[in-house]
């Protein structure tokens, strides 16, 4: 079998062995429902409370400000729909950027389509950065919420959320940030950051899929968006996923302990990829900000190629990576992020995202840099032949 090199940690990370063992232990030994008052239920409740404290400690929050969800998408939905519902009849303005994750953009579009929100989409520059002054201009007297991600999942650009939060606070507007890509790898402390709502997702920092959390600053108006048994103090009803929540807490603790040394090592690997690709692949375009970017993210566009073809060709060589483009209706559509930063459609179609992680080695980077140039050259040659053969 081909030795695999995994370079798609932005999509999901492998589960840490300690996290997996903690989750398995709960599955084996803790059958109780956290809402039950007898011993088995109290045991489950104590584990949920412990995990809540671990998540809170990792971001400087109070445990009561943590709401467990099924992941980042639900956390984003709860933030947007919850605030708009809580402010119904008072304020209906929602401000987002053009490069948000679909969990935010599609939710905003749905709220807009059903007449529940007036959505303002703020553009970004060529590096994917949003200007806090543009956010300030987008806010009006009926703005209920501003939702801007901390770091972009495709191009890795880190947004100035401290300045944006200050703008929102000065105007009395609730501020939500999708920090799914950043919590666990970047410093993040809600005691110093002017954020009201923060989405996190366990499987982005070596936890399991299907569990996440929303930080809701005390006093933030955010209504529940589903009805049921009143769990999570009525903020997110439904029986808690005890094994997943325990795993989230352990993953957050480990990520917090390792963050500084992991970030340094990952940034060194990222920089090797960026320098190596630029040196070995003609006309490679680095997307996202050159320095203000996630330490594990190296994203490119290769003119004359298709992203899906790049991913497939790398996969055949034993390297897992991803593309910002998606196949729809038989044609490759460029990522909304890449078009939002002003790339031509043809260039944006040749996107490739390479994201390193704890298990990535220098040998993995060497292998990528030995393999990728030939793949790009081959795909470009095939594309030229196709064009020349066209009638």
DSSP H or E run through 201 = strand 197-201
CA dist., res. 1 & res. 299, Å (int): 28
| End-to-end Cα, the chain, rounded Å | 42
CA dist., res. 324 & res. 349, Å (int): 8
- Whole-angstrom CA distances from 252 to 100, 173, 249, 347, 361 are 24, 29, 5, 38, 23
DSSP H or E run through 129 = none
The reply to whether 301 belongs to the active site is no
3-state SS assignment for residue 139: coil
Contact 367, 383 (CB under 8 A): no
Contact 255, 202 (CB under 8 A): no
Own/partner contacts of 274-283, CB < 8 Å, gap of 24 or more, are: 274/298, 276/365, 276/368, 276/369, 277/369, 277/372, 280/369, 280/372, 280/373, 281/372, 281/373, 281/376
Catalytic entry in 168, 222, 301, 327: 327
**Sign of dihedral through CA atoms 241, 247, 250, 252?**
negative
CA dist., res. 371 & res. 1, Å (int): 17
* Active site amino acids: 327
């Amino acid at each position: 079998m081909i030795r695999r090199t995994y370079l798609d940690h932005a999509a999901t990370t492998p589960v840490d062995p300690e996290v997996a063992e903690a989750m398995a232990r709960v599955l084996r030994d803790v059958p109780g429902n956290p809402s039950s008052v007898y011993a088995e239920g109290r045991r489950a409740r104590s584990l949920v409370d412990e995990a809540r404290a671990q998540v809170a400690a990792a971001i400087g929050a109070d445990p009561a400000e943590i709401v467990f969800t099924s992941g980042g998408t639900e956390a984003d939905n709860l933030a947007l729909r919850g605030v708009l519902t809580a402010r119904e009849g008072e304020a209906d303005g929602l401000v987002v950027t053009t490069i948000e994750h679909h969990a935010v953009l599609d939710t905003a579009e749905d709220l807009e389509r059903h007449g529940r929100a007036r959505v303002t989409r703020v553009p970004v520059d060529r590096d994917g950065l949003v200007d806090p002054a543009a956010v300030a201009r987008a806010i009006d007297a009926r703005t209920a919420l501003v939702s801007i991600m901390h770091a972009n999942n495709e191009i890795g650009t880190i947004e100035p959320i401290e300045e944006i939060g200050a703008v929102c606070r000065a105007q009395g507007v609730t501020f939500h940030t999708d920090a799914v890509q950043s919590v666990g790898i970047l410093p993040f402390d809600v005691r110093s950051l002017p954020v009201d709502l923060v989405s996190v997702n366990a499987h982005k920092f070596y936890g399991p899929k299907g569990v996440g959390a929303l930080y809701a600053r005390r006093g933030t108006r955010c209504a529940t968006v589903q009805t049921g048994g009143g769990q999570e103090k009525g903020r997110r009803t439904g029986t808690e996923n005890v094994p997943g929540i325990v795993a989230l807490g352990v993953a957050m603790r480990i990520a917090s302990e390792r963050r500084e040394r992991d970030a340094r090592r990952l940034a060194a690997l990222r920089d090797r990829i960026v320098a190596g690709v630029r040196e070995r692949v003609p006309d490679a375009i680095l997307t996202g900000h050159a320095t203000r970017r996630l330490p594990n993210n190296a994203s490119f566009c290769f003119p004359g190629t298709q992203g899906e073809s790049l991913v497939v060709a790398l996969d055949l060589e034993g390297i897992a990576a991803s593309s910002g483009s998606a196949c729809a209706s038989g044609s490759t559509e460029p990522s909304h992020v890449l078009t939002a930063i002003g790339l031509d459609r043809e260039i944006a179609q040749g996107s490739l995202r390479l994201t390193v992680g704890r298990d990535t080695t220098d040998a993995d980077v060497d292998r990528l840099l030995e393999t990728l140039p030939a793949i790009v050259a081959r795909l470009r040659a095939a594309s030229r032949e196709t064009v020349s053969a066209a009638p």
